[in-house]
Amino acid sequence: MTGEENRGFYLTESQFGPLWKYVCQDEITNIDWDSGHLWIKYAGHIRRRVEDPEVTKEFIERFSLLAANHESRPFNRVDSVLCAETKELRITFVHEAFAVSGRSMSIRKSLPRLRFTVKEALLAGYCQERVMHLLVNCVLGGFNFVFCGEPGQGKTESAKFFSSFIRPHEKVITVEDLREWHYGDINPDKDCVELKVQSREDYGEAIAVSLRLNPKWLMIAETRSREVRYLLEGWSNGVSCMTTLHVNDARRIPDRILNMLESRQDAERLVNQVYSDVGIGVLLKEQECGDGITVHRIWQVCFYYRENERNGCVLPVEDGILYEERLPEFLRARIREGCGQKDIFYNAQVEERKNA
């Protein structure tokens, strides 16, 4: 990665200064400056404090002002939060007027490639093999996916991974304020439109515009609040969706969505729609394995349904373990119909990538 490639935020290697040695390492996912200390997070490892005499309070102050200049935005006691981005980095600064522990910085890295392959995921225990086959078949069946979990649990990377199985001819539109999906870079031969919004208020309009462009898939970097009603509109129009959501139990996704709606008028209809349309919730969880090694795992998979005028959900994957018997026949039939094959726990693409 070079400063030249970081379109949108024109900082060169020299301007990144002592941070460059961390920025240029693909395996580093997060770089933080908190309370006068530098913290580094490598993929697959716990976050560690690093002693670097070159990264000082004075450097962070200069770097934040340089970022403000490049973004043409104020950063002071009144405008105390500054966000900047490059093609691969999301950079956030918080002024000491807001962060009483001192000026803070967070750099989050999202690469325009997949963090892991099928083979690597299975070897690392990301999920059981039959779970991966099942979820890929659900992608082919056009199920809606909500990837959930606490911050830093790998929600976006999981969504990027499973979106790579979308059929090439199915039009995908991504909507995000800071680039994380990189769908076009990861899938250069597939039909894709990438929309970038300037503020949270623009999300609703962007999603509404997307629906007029006849997509098969809508990918929203994060469902936060008011844009959820446009998401529901997309689902009701037959558009498949992948999004991420901050919630720590997949079974709570319908309640979380309902609580984000501005109005609960006609509440019963909304509840029924959510259970009918949400599709699948996937909870991601990071676990320590000893010696500072961590692994992201698919911890829960939840299917939502409205059947015989009743709303419900089933949890065939709990604590990372697949319980096939929990998946009722009517859901199995929907998956078979969608993906076009009899065995919902087998997918040829997964098998091919596993053996590549």
**Predicted TM-score (pTM) above 0.75:** yes
Of 7-21, 36-50, 269-283, give the lowest mean pLDDT range: 7-21
The per-residue pLDDT for 55 is 97
Question: Tokens in use for 124?
Answer: 């690392």
**Average pLDDT for 323-338:** 96
* pLDDT score of 4: 37
CA dist 92 and 72 (Å) reads: 15
**Dihedral-angle region of residue 182 (phi above 0 means left; psi in -120 to 50 means alpha; beta otherwise):** left
Token duo for residue 76: 């002071």
Region class of 286: left (phi > 0), else alpha (psi between -120 and 50), else beta: beta
pLDDT digits (tens, 9 = 90+) for 86-135: 888 889 999 999 999 999 999 999 888 999 999 999 999 999 999 999 99
Phi-psi region of 340 (alpha: psi -120 to 50; beta: other; left: phi over 0): left
